[in-house]
Structure 1
């Protein structure tokens, strides 16, 4: 198994990243899309579109699926907006 399919997957920046994580976890648990959809209370089409990275998925349903998989989503600052106290070449 290559490293991009192992959990945790690292930074989630796109819907495709979430989809890859969902697919990998579902397969690791040995469930088909139909079995998993029934377990989560969503349709097979929803699972398929989620795993394929559809960017317009309903957030509440995505969170429901993640919870069903035993996954959680957390947010943290990226750090890109934290400017240094002084910039190189600029007087203090």
Structure 2
């Protein structure tokens, strides 16, 4: 599992390594609010089946809808280059 639990929050945030990680994050967020999949689907503007498939880590999930769900949850997605020679360097710091 690629997610780390934040010290200030019970939700798992951090590096995403798989579709399963995104699913666990969405499920954790939903359950922390005691919401059903139907409630969450309505909030995010997607179907219940989509929420179920996303939470279960379906690898062929539609990216646009997944981003819509994450945005609805108040989460942002960042892309950074993976550089094994410079691991641990924050891209934003490097731009300095």
Q: CA RMSD in A?
A: 2.0
State the structure with bigger RCO (CA 8 A, min sep 6), 1 or 2: 1
TM-score (norm 1): 0.76
**Which structure has the larger Rg over C-alpha atoms?**
1
Instruction: Determine which structure has the larger strand proportion and give its number.
Output: 2
> 1:76: Cα distance to partner?
1.3
Unmatched runs of 5 consecutive residues or more in structure 2:
87-96
Moved over 4 A (4+): none
Is residue 54 of structure 1 aligned with residue 58 of structure 2? yes
Unaligned runs of 5+ in 1: 84-92
